[in-house]
Structure 1
Amino acid sequence: MDKEQNRLWTVPFILVLFVNALNGISSYMVNPAMPEFLVSKGIPFALTGLISSLLSWVALAMRPFSGAMSDRFNKKKIMFVSYLATAACMLGYALVQKSAAVIGVRILHGVAFAVSGTISMVFATSFVPEKRIAEGISYIGIASLLGTMIGPQLGSSISQQLGMRNLFLTAGGLCLICLLMIVVIPYQFVEQKGKRAGKKITFSDFFAKELLIYVFLIGLFSFGNGIISYYLINFGEVRGIANIALFFTVYSVAMLIMKPFVGKLQDARGIRVILIPAFLIYAVGMVLLANAYSLTPVLIAAVFKAIGQGNGSPAIQAESVKKLGLERNGVAISTCLIGQDLGNALGPIFASYVVNFSNYGSMFMLYALMLLGGLGIYIGTTRKETQSKRKTILAKEGN
């Protein structure tokens, strides 16, 4: 009986992994094409970063509510509505003509993105046994990785061969497939009972202040994600680097190889052993990218990004869920995603201004310095906690 309760690979879990994978592909098909799409609608290049990041700014405002909803209401219904809204936004991109309408769709997409991003992970963990939560989260992350592996290259091919409109229609079609799969996933919503049912809504339902340092760190990681997702293709065109979209594929393959081992290492040694190398290696990767004029250093930088941001961000999410427990899983995930939204929102703005006044090389070098600064802050703020743990261990060994 205990073995059955701890079984991870159930039909609902497999289906929800497919949903996460398809949703990721849909999103990453669209992101790299957004600056070019905005310019085609008459929006100046200098403003593309600001408008592209509207999705993240709106998501940031909505994210705390998405976490609270995930902890209190029917997760399956919330997920269905959020994916339906995402599909409608993809159709909107394909049909709108005026720049004002584009901005309106982008804002609505931000609302849908906030809710769907949180609920996708929270809903998935509903089918993970408590004793295997870290393992389950790692597989959820792998499913999402398929989006970064397949999406950019697929989106680039569709937009070049079939046009921008068909790119958005295809992305919307993938969202509709997700909706069909969500419908057939068996899920029993259990209403809250006892003390939790009558508990008043407090600030802690929207934001976990005990995770503040992790919000900052995951935001710093995602800052680079916002830069690369939106401007790597343009960087390749400026530098004359063909097939630069392979960066996303190499990044994803590296993550697929490393992720199971990194999860086990974190369980055995703690998050610190993941984060310190992650910051250092990611910074080196950005220096490589700043000086790249051919594909080889770009692909090496992709591997370094996988070791850095790719391993660092999921490690922070897993640690946050462990700290708060499954009962507050929604607010744990949404709090981390607030940091990601901040990074994703600020990254494109930073990139557009730096590139406008300088160049891509300066942009990547400045970000490398930011990563090293973040590492210093992390070490400084966690030093007392580390020293306290060491004293406890030494005291136990002394006994």
Structure 2
Amino acid sequence: MDNRQSLWTRDFFSICFSSFFIFITFYSLTATLPTFVTDELGGSQQQAGWVLTAFVIAAVIMRPFAGKWMDGPYRYLLVLVATAVFMVCGFIYPMISVFGILLVLRFVQGASFGAATTANGTIVTELIPDNRKGEGMGYFTLAMNLAMVLGPFLGLTIIQNAGFRTLFIVFMAFGVLGMLLSIVVVRGRKSSAKTMTAAKAAPRATAPSPAPKRRLDWRNYIEPKAVPVSLVSMFLAVAYAGILSFVPSYAKEIGLESISSYYFIVYAAMIVLARPFTGKMFDRLHRNYLVYPTLLLYAVGLFVLAMADSAFLFLLSGAIIGLGFGSLFPCLQTIAIQSVPKEKVGLATGTLFIFFDGGIGIGSALLGSVASAANNRTMYLVGLASVLIGALLYFLLMHRDRKPSRQAQPVESA
């Protein structure tokens, strides 16, 4: 008899699709705004690079505050405000005619992105049954993975056939849909909270004790127990930045420009095929049985990419990396939230993304410099070295932690 709780609830669907609309906007803009800066605003390549840098910096700054706020009484207000600001920014893009204003807009939207994604990453952990954490987080992060594939394709197709104004109108629609779905989630969570409060209400109310005064402490913004897995994710993100930013230019360098768009399709296909199995494996086995094989696949995929000299090897690397890193990241996110008490899940989620976003920023600058000084093959070998460092850190910091997870529950079988 299967006693597992339901995963596919209305709120779970809503938060997955809300995240999808946020991430597809992010990835579409990442691929298209550099062209907007150079072609529409007359800016330089250096200025074009700053539109992503400003966004990432703002997201990193916001995440520790968002993680802390998600563990407090204003968590649902944060969800709505962050999503609303992200939506409003979408309405401003068509009016941009000066690079400086675009930079400010990107900083504001980056801050709202950091807050909204941290909030969604926290709330979704409360919607997933304890004995299906790995499976549920796998499906949730699938929204981000699919957006990473569809976003650049959608953005580039629209500007090539209809122009930037049409693209920005599409982003407006995505922002509105994301906002509406966030409202659905918040209303559902508030309703559930009221029901639980009424069920647990004591016959006689007691006066609340006064809240202790809080000192300024970094641990209010960074969760120490989530730092080890977050540090691992940072080194993995360095290599991921090379895939996210430089695969099209690498394909052109090795004479495979005509098939570069298929790389991310293969990547996404492997994620979709593997996700149902890897999530369930994480819930049933010790995490090491999944983390080490996916780390190995990630490293092998980067090596194949660095050595690719044919369409087969180029696309094969996308499949291997999709199976490796695409399965690995939701495991790391689940490890982060299982390492802390429930009241600190928001802080742990924020901590993970601070390090991950930091790795993306470091990787974009570092690997871009390597590619300019040497070539893209060398760049991906440097990315491979970063993954190996991440694997070593996992072994040193986390391998021997065999205690049962705080939220992990045994899965009852027939």
Range of TM-score over shorter length: 0.7 to 0.9
**Structure 1 pair 271/214, CA: closer, same or farther in 2 (3 Å)?**
same
**More deviation, 316-325/290-299:** 290-299
Aligned partner of residue 71 in structure 2, secondary structure: helix
1:27-42 alignment to 2 at 5 Å?
27-40=26-39, 41-42=41-42
What is the aligned partner in structure 1 of residue 176 from structure 2?
176
Query: Shift of the alpha carbon at 1:194?
Result: 8.8
Matched residue, 1:7: 6
Q: Which residue in the other structure is 1:81 paired with?
A: 81
Note if contact 1:280-1:371 (Cα within 8 Å) is conserved in structure 2. no
Structure 2 matches for 1:243-322, cutoff 5 A?
243-322=259-338
Q: Could you tell me which residue of structure 2 aligns to residue 213 of structure 1?
A: 228
Within the alignment, does 1:25 sit opposite 2:17 as a pair? no
Query: Which stretches of structure 1, 4 residues or more, deviate above 6 A after TM superposition?
Result: 191-197
1:114-157 CA distance string (max 9 Å, x none): 10110122223333334443333222122333312322221221
1:53 and 1:346 in contact (8 A); partners too: no
Contact 2:302 2:384 in 1 (8 A): yes
SS of alignment partner, residue 355 of structure 1: helix
SS, match of residue 72 in structure 1: coil
SS of the aligned residue for 2:211 comes to: coil
Moved more, 272-281 or 111-120: 272-281
Q: Structure 1's 124 and 297: CA in aligned 2 closer, same or farther, altered over 3 A?
A: same
Contact 1:49–1:349 (Cα < 8 Å) also in 2: no
- Structure 2 vs 1, CA of residues 380 and 178 (structure 1 numbering), >3 Å: closer, same or farther? closer
**Equivalent residue, structure 1, for 2:241:** 226
Code of the aligned partner of 1:187: G
Larger deviation, residues 183-192 vs 97-106: 183-192
Size of the aligned set, in residue pairs, is 386
Q: List per-residue Cα deviations over 1:303-358 (Å, max 9, x = no partner).
A: 22223321221111101111113322111111111111111111221233223222
CA distance in 1 between partners of 2:289 and 2:399 (Å): 13
CA–CA distance in 1 between the matches of 2:38 and 2:76? 37
AA of the residue aligned to 1:256: V
Aligned partners of 1:315 and 1:82: how far apart in 2? 26
| Separation of aligned partners in 1, 2:181 and 2:299 | 40
Deviation at 1:51, TM superposition (A): 4.1
Structure 2 residue runs of 5 or longer lacking an equivalent are 198-205, 405-414
CA contact (8 A) 2:229 2:352 kept: yes
Which digits, 9 at most, give the CA deviation of each residue in 1:272-311, with x for residues without a partner? Answer: 2222223332222222222335443232111222233212
In the alignment, which residue of structure 2 is the partner of 1:341?
Answer: 357
Secondary structure, in 3 states, of the residue corresponding to 2:188? coil
The whole-number CA distance in structure 2 between the counterparts of 1:194 and 1:248 is 57
Asked if structure 2 preserves the Cα contact closer than 8 Å seen for 1:76 and 1:123, the reply is no
2:113 counterpart residue number: 113
User: Structure 2: which amino acid aligns with 1:235?
Assistant: Y
What are structure 1's unaligned runs of at least 5 residues?
Answer: 390-399
Deviations 1:85-109 (A, max 9, x none): 2223333343322222222122112
| Aligned-partner residue type, residue 214 of structure 1 | V
Task: Identify the residue that residue 103 of structure 1 maps to in structure 2.
Answer: 103
Residue correspondence of structure 1 range 54-69 to structure 2 within 5 A? 54-69=54-69
The AA in structure 1 aligned to 2:20 is A
- 1:324 has 2:340 as partner: yes
Deviation at 1:210, TM superposition (A): 1.8
3-state SS of paired residue (2:258): coil
SS at match of 1:311: helix
Range 308-317 or range 284-293, more displaced:
284-293
Aligned to 2:94: 94
- CA distance in 2: counterparts of 1:94 and 1:239, whole angstroms: 36
Measured in 2, the distance between the counterparts of 1:19 and 1:323 equals: 26
Distance of aligned partners of 1:293 and 1:96 in 2 relative to their CA distance in 1, 3 Å threshold: farther
Moved more, 150-159 or 56-65: 150-159
Q: Distance in 2 between matches of 1:65 and 1:230?
A: 28
Contact 2:298 2:320 in 1 (8 A): yes
**Candidates 192, 198, 211, aligned match of 1:198:** 211
Corresponding residue of 1:365: 381
**Aligned in 2, Cα 1:370/1:224: closer, same or farther, shift over 3 Å?**
closer
Q: Flag the 1:48–1:356 CA change in 2: closer, same or farther, 3 A.
A: farther
- Which amino acid in the other structure matches residue 188 of structure 2? Y
Q: For residues 245-297 of structure 1, what are the alpha-carbon distances to aligned partners after superposition, in whole Å with 9 as ceiling and x for unaligned?
A: 22222212211211222122223332222222233322222222223354432
Following TM superposition, by how much is the alpha carbon of 1:199 offset from its aligned partner in structure 2, in angstroms?
A: 5.4
SS of the equivalent of 1:244 reads helix
Per the TM alignment, residue 73 of structure 1 is displaced from its structure 2 partner at its CA by: 3.2
Q: 1:222 to 1:26 in 2, by over 3 A?
A: same
Shift of 1:18: 2.1
Per-residue CA deviations over 1:209-239 (Å, capped at 9, x if unaligned) read 1222211111122222322223323333444
Instruction: Give the direction of change, closer, same or farther, for the CA distance of 1:170–1:351 in structure 2 (3 Å limit).
Output: farther
What's the CA shift for 1:47?
5.5
